[in-house]
Structure 1
Amino acid sequence: MGNVVLITGTSTGIGRALALQAANAGHQVVATMRDTSRAGELADVADVRALDVTSAESVAELIAGVLRDHGRIDVLVNNAGAGHVGTVETDSVEDFQAVLDVNLLGVVRMTKAAMPHLRASRGRLVTVSSVGGVVGQPFNEAYCAAKFAVEGMMESLAPVAAQFGVRVSLVEPGAVATEFVANAVTDRAALLAGMGDYRPVLERYVARTEAAFAAAQSAEEVAAVVLSVVESEAPALRYQTSDRAREFVGVKLADLDGSRVLGVTSGMC
């Protein structure tokens, strides 16, 4: 059979689409989510397991179970994440901590736990980031801070992991038609009511964002890009999932696939 592919955040969206596509491509998929009652059709094609990336105990239990039942981990796809809309003056420190715990520390916990096994299999580490990991966007300070940190972590790890045969890649979607945005703003009225002087600025931002998401990629399109990275013989460090994402990221990042950066940092190992 194919690789043992461990994917986080598969209850909806990109993660779910990726798990289905990877299973259909012949891989042994371990699909994780906090609430396994949401597995649905995934249970027919994948090994569905419970995981809370904010819990070190949950991560350790998952990794041990995968190794016990599958014997190895060939690919880890860090996909679990949570959006957040707000600004630093009105957000609490606890808001920031919660966003960082899922989007940054969740990636750290999973990567740390999986790395010995990825080194053993000379495997792949793929992390679903965002164009918001390269270009900071209004009312996304906490989310972009987490994604910027993930990008820096993986860019730093890539040349080190490569010494042990582990290829590290980042995938940067733009707007994607999933439940992600709706989950980030569960109560718009309450959000706007608490914004004070920022309210009219946020209202304009939300209107523009909704227009952008009218032309969003599907989760299936993004998942297909991630799967191509998983299966690539020589994956790059960085991928954007659409022309629009490439154009947006290209405003800031001339080295679109990361090869120039890796060319420099690989010489440091």
Structure 2
Amino acid sequence: MVTQSILLITGTSSGIGLASAVAAARAGFTVVATMRDLNRADALRDAADTAGVSLDLQPLDVTDPASVAACLSYVKATYGRLDALLNNAGAGHLGTIELESVDDVRAVMEVNFFGVVAMTKAALPLLRASGGRVVSVSSVGGVVGQPFNEAYCAAKFAVEGFMESLTPVAATVGVRVTVIEPGAVTTEFVANVGGRRSVEGTPYDGALRAYLERTAAAFDPAAAQTPEGVADVIVEVLTSENPPARVQTSEAAQRFAGVKLADLDGAHVQAVTRHWVTGA
């Protein structure tokens, strides 16, 4: 039963992670809500209080092996089980490779990809024991490469490939795996994206401005999905008897992902994204 299920969520200080922690607790899960800095937990506490639910807030840095190990040890010692892992922690990044260091790209991969790998590896023994599931928040950017998102999309493509490959293997030991693909969501994620200044004043500046103009419209609250809307989809996946391997969280995300899935030679994707940087 859901009321006996233990759910660990990464990256719950804001956005999709915050909304998912509250929605899952309302659905009956015991939620271990984690974030790198518990000093940023006020928004989550307020949301939980408003919803009338309780959460177990714990520190976790998915890029720190000791922190990952300590968090899973805490879950095992406190609850004796883990029924689901929601890999949500991540960070956006804008830039282009001529203007960045390889270390910049590695840093993006570390949090968005290797953090997912580390958490999944650490959680699998408990999930095998419970017949649980791994749910990972990717992005339509894990399906369609997008201008100035080279490192971020590379990390999300890696998540998609990792999870798609893991899915049939995990199923042999009773663990279900699902990738969640949101499109534009009205969160603080875009506002916190790093790397933008590295492009300003360079030969790529005009293309960046065109991209940012297009993106601002896509993330306008009138057009974008809410974090709560994404959270509802995630809870549906967490409670489904037979969850799919891949879920887009909105009709817009389905249409966008469909561009790639029906595009064997890549021409359609390039036709769609080319005007994002030319403004034409």
Q: Same fold (TM over 0.5)?
A: yes
Cα offset for 1:2?
3.0
Unaligned runs of 5+ in 1: 256-269
Question: Does structure 1 residue 23 correspond to structure 2 residue 30?
Answer: no
SS at match of 2:22: helix
Partner of residue 130 from structure 2, selected from 114, 118, 121:
121
Is residue 31–residue 47 contact of structure 1 (8 Å, CA) maintained in 2?
yes
Structure 1 distance, partners of 2:198, 2:191, is 13
Partner of residue 76 from structure 1, selected from 76, 85, 95:
85
Partner of residue 205 from structure 2, selected from 155, 179, 199:
199
Partner of residue 164 from structure 2, selected from 143, 151, 155:
155
SS at match of 2:66: helix
Partner of residue 75 from structure 2, selected from 66, 75, 79:
66
Cα offset for 1:64?
0.1
Is residue 73–residue 117 contact of structure 1 (8 Å, CA) maintained in 2?
yes
Q: Counterpart in 2 of 1:137?
A: 146
Cα offset for 1:25?
1.1
Cα offset for 1:185?
4.0
Structure 1 distance, partners of 2:145, 2:219, is 17
Cα offset for 1:253?
1.4
SS at match of 2:39: helix
Partner of residue 210 from structure 1, selected from 189, 195, 216:
216
Partner of residue 38 from structure 2, selected from 26, 29, 36:
36
Structure 2 distance, partners of 1:2, 1:24, is 13
Question: Does structure 1 residue 13 correspond to structure 2 residue 2?
Answer: no
The aligned amino acid for 2:231 is: A
User: Structure 1, residues 44-75: CA drift from partner, whole Å, max 9, x if none?
Assistant: 61100000001011000000001100110000
Structure 2 distance, partners of 1:229, 1:39, is 25
Question: Does structure 1 residue 47 correspond to structure 2 residue 56?
Answer: yes
SS at match of 1:184: coil
Cα offset for 1:39?
2.0
Q: Counterpart in 2 of 1:85?
A: 94
Question: Does structure 1 residue 239 correspond to structure 2 residue 247?
Answer: yes
TM-score with structure 2 setting the length: 0.87
TM-score with structure 1 setting the length: 0.91
Is residue 8–residue 85 contact of structure 2 (8 Å, CA) maintained in 1?
yes
> How many aligned positions are there?
252
Unaligned runs of 5+ in 2: 264-280
Q: Counterpart in 2 of 1:108?
A: 117
Structure 1 distance, partners of 2:199, 2:106, is 21
Cα offset for 1:108?
0.5
Question: Does structure 1 residue 249 correspond to structure 2 residue 257?
Answer: yes
User: Structure 1, residues 132-158: CA drift from partner, whole Å, max 9, x if none?
Assistant: 000000000000000000000000000
SS at match of 1:29: strand
Is residue 185–residue 191 contact of structure 1 (8 Å, CA) maintained in 2?
no
Is residue 187–residue 227 contact of structure 2 (8 Å, CA) maintained in 1?
yes
Is residue 124–residue 168 contact of structure 1 (8 Å, CA) maintained in 2?
yes
SS at match of 2:91: coil
SS at match of 2:136: strand
Partner of residue 181 from structure 1, selected from 179, 190, 193:
190
